[in-house]
């Protein structure tokens, strides 16, 4: 069920055209489930009056959470409601918390996820993300993660940007930070709200009920679960999108031992569209609905710890943290849910930052500027690696001194990337800056060798 928040935005355009265009071969059968039963109900204000029994005592959204830790089973004594009432009350509380949509599925609702995950891992598409492999048995099969769970409550929280993020890609002296990272860290925000919601749920669910709360980092496949719970479908870009929420949403999950009525799964409404596949700068989609993470700029700039492979560097442009291209072009964003209150408003300094402002940050400055931001997670050296690649791609000669300033950086990752960036921005200056002896770090030495060979500097130096 989606929670409409668009009263002020005028009437919704008809969406029949999209539905008719549903792509053959990607229907409910491919998802391993029948899309029978009613579509998840849109909760409007009238749902309050639809409740048979008015809330007893304190209303759900205001109840404080009790012992709801990440992954920790929790119990609380209360007068139980029947499962349908419980779900209605939960939906009310979810809406009051600012979630854009909620749905319920059974833990065994995604039988196709495990074999698909296995194929993804076998093909090495997870790259350096060894943690995906480590707990893949839990990830692929939620029934093994917590066998007592009877329902999975999936929630979507909107972070729709106010402006088109693609516009920033045309400004070479600026850094493009992906929309999700421009505000406070969503892990903290979403988890806090999920825990509050779980606490409210427990107050109503009865003394024997248990819950566990998961956001992103747990071994849970949130996208297929969200599709099974009817929130939307995994688009050809593999992200979850919905007809009423678009694709700028974070996902979170509450597992519970309570048996709540399940929603009908959603089917793909991508139809013949392939905008996300075509725009991808690194051709990271081997096929529709499949991603090779090792080619994705989000992986390369956030997850990859070492040097970014040379073939991808020119394609990264000025994206210094994540990438939004495939999300930004999706036509379903016309119907995107509004971002959840002020929570995801961008920090001003992350909207159109100058590359030079970022290059000037030392370790302490980096920590200070990115306190509470997901960007802090990649650390100073990886951050500078990304900024230097953007500088190398900029074609802006004013940036040359900034790149040269990092060519002797103590971090091999930084000085190796600076060599590459200088070879792009000022190939003529490379030979003059080359060290007399090969760099002690073999990867940096290799950067020098390749850069000098590519720019003809090796010959001049000899
Ligand atoms: C690992 C990971 C990444 C990796 C890999 C992404 C990926 N698509 O797998 C990297 C670092 C690249 C990444 C990038 C991003 N991520 Co990420 N990521 C995750 C994480 C932790 C696990 C995802 C996972 O399990 N991948 C493994 C693959 C196998 O699973 P899958 O994508 O669901 O694959 C399915 C399809 O391939 C499909 N499939 C395969 N074959 C076929 C064939 C057919 C016919 C069909 C129909 C389907 C199909 O079946 C698979 C199983 O369902 C989740 C959080 C979580 N715990 O779920 C967040 C998550 C997916 N990420 C998220 C976000 C926001 C992003 C970025 C937008 C961030 C950014 N701006 O840079 C990008 C988007 C890139 C993209 N196009 O996917 C959100 C997505 C929210 C949403 N609306 O879907 C999540 C859910 C985090 C959250 N809690 O909100 N991410
Ligand atoms: S996030 Fe960017 S690089 Fe990754 S798949 Fe989408 S468009 Fe391609
Ligand atoms: S842009 Fe959106 S609608 Fe089009 S194929 Fe991609 S996910 Fe589907």
315 CA from centroid of ligand 2 (Å): 11
Output the pLDDT for position 31: 22
Domain boundaries along the sequence of the chain: 7-256, 354-462
Output the pLDDT for position 1: 73
pLDDT in tens, 229-252: 999 999 999 999 999 999 999 999
Output the pLDDT for position 42: 26
Indicate the burial class of 63 (C-beta count within 10 angstroms; 0-12, 13-18, 19 or more). buried
Output the pLDDT for position 215: 85
pLDDT less than 50: residues of the chain: 5-78, 342, 459, 462
CA–CA gap between residue 95 and residue 23 (Å, rounded): 32
Output the pLDDT for position 74: 46
Q: What share of the chain is helix, strand, coil (3-state, %, to 5)?
A: 45, 10, 45
Output the pLDDT for position 346: 57
Q: Is 329 in the pocket of ligand 2 (CB under 6 A)?
A: no
Paired with 241 in beta bridges are 233
Which atom of ligand 1 is found nearest the CA of 31?
47
> Is 441 designated active site?
no
CA–CA gap between residue 243 and residue 336 (Å, rounded): 8
Output the pLDDT for position 21: 25
Which strand (E) or helix (H) includes residue 419? helix 412-425
Protein residues whose CB sits closer than 6 Å to any atom of ligand 1:
26, 30, 113, 116-117, 120, 129, 178, 180, 215-216, 220-224, 234, 237-240, 247, 249-251, 289-291, 293, 296, 298-299, 303, 322-324, 326-327
Indicate the top mutation candidate among 267, 332, 334, 336 to test ligand 3's pocket, ranked by most ligand atoms within 8 A of CB.
332
CA–CA gap between residue 49 and residue 440 (Å, rounded): 72
Which atom of ligand 3 is found nearest the CA of 274?
5
Q: Is 296 in the pocket of ligand 2 (CB under 6 A)?
A: yes
CA–CA gap between residue 391 and residue 418 (Å, rounded): 9
Question: Length of the chain in residues, anyone?
Answer: 462
pLDDT in tens, 332-369: 999 887 776 545 555 656 778 999 999 999 999 999 99
């Amino acid at each position: 069920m989606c929670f409409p928040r668009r009263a002020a935005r005028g009437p919704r355009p008809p969406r029949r055209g999209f539905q008719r265009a549903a792509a053959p071969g990607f229907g409910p059968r491919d998802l391993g489930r029948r899309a029978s039963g009613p579509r998840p109900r849109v909760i409007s204000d009238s749902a309050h009056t639809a409740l048979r029994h008015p809330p007893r005592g304190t209303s759900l959204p205001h109840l404080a959470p009790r012992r709801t830790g990440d992954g920790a089973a929790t119990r609380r004594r209360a007068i139980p409601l029947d499962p349908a009432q419980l779900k209605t009350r939960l939906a009310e509380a979810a809406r009051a918390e600012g979630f854009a949509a909620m749905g319920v599925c059974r833990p065994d609702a995604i039988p196709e996820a495990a074999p698909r995950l296995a194929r993804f891992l076998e093909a090495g598409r997870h790259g350096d993300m060894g943690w995906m492999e480590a707990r893949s048995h839990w990830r692929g099969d939620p029934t093994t993660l917590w066998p007592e769970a009877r329902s999975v409550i999936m929630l979507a929280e909107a972070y729709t940007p106010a402006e088109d993020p693609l516009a920033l890609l045309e400004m070479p002296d600026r850094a493009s930070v992906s929309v999700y990272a421009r505000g406070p860290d969503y892990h903290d925000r979403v988890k806090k709200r999920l825990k509050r919601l779980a606490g409210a749920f427990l107050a109503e669910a009865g003394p024997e009920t248990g819950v566990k709360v998961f956001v992103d980092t747990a071994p849970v496949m949130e996208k297929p679960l969200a599709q099974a719970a009817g929130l939307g479908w995994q688009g050809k870009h593999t992200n979850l999108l919905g007809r009423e929420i678009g694709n700028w949403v974070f996902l979170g999950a509450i597992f519970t031992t309570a048996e709540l009525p399940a929603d009908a799964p959603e089917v793909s409404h991508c139809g013949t569209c392939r905008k996300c596949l075509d725009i991808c700068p690194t051709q990271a989609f081997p096929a529709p609905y499949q991603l090779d993470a090792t080619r994705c700029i989000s992986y390369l700039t956030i997850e990859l710890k070492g040097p970014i492979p040379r073939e991808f560097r020119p394609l990264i442009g000025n994206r210094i943290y994540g990438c939004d291209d495939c999300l930004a072009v999706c036509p379903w964003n016309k119907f995107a849910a509004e971002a959840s209150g002020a929570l995801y408003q961008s920090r001003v300094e992350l909207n159109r930052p100058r590359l030079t402002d970022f290059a000037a940050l030392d370790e302490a400055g980096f920590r200070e500027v990115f306190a509470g931001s997901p960007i802090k997670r990649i650390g100073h050296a990886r951050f500078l690696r990304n900024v230097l690649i953007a500088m190398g791609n900029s074609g802006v000669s004013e940036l040359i001194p900034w790149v040269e300033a990092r060519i002797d950086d103590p971090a091999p990752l930084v000085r190796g990337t600076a060599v590459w960036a200088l070879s792009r921005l000022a190939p003529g200056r490379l030979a003059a800056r080359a060290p007399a002896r090969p760099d002690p770090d073999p990867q940096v030495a290799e950067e020098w060798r390749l850069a000098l060979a590519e720019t003809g500097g090796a010959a001049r130096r000899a």
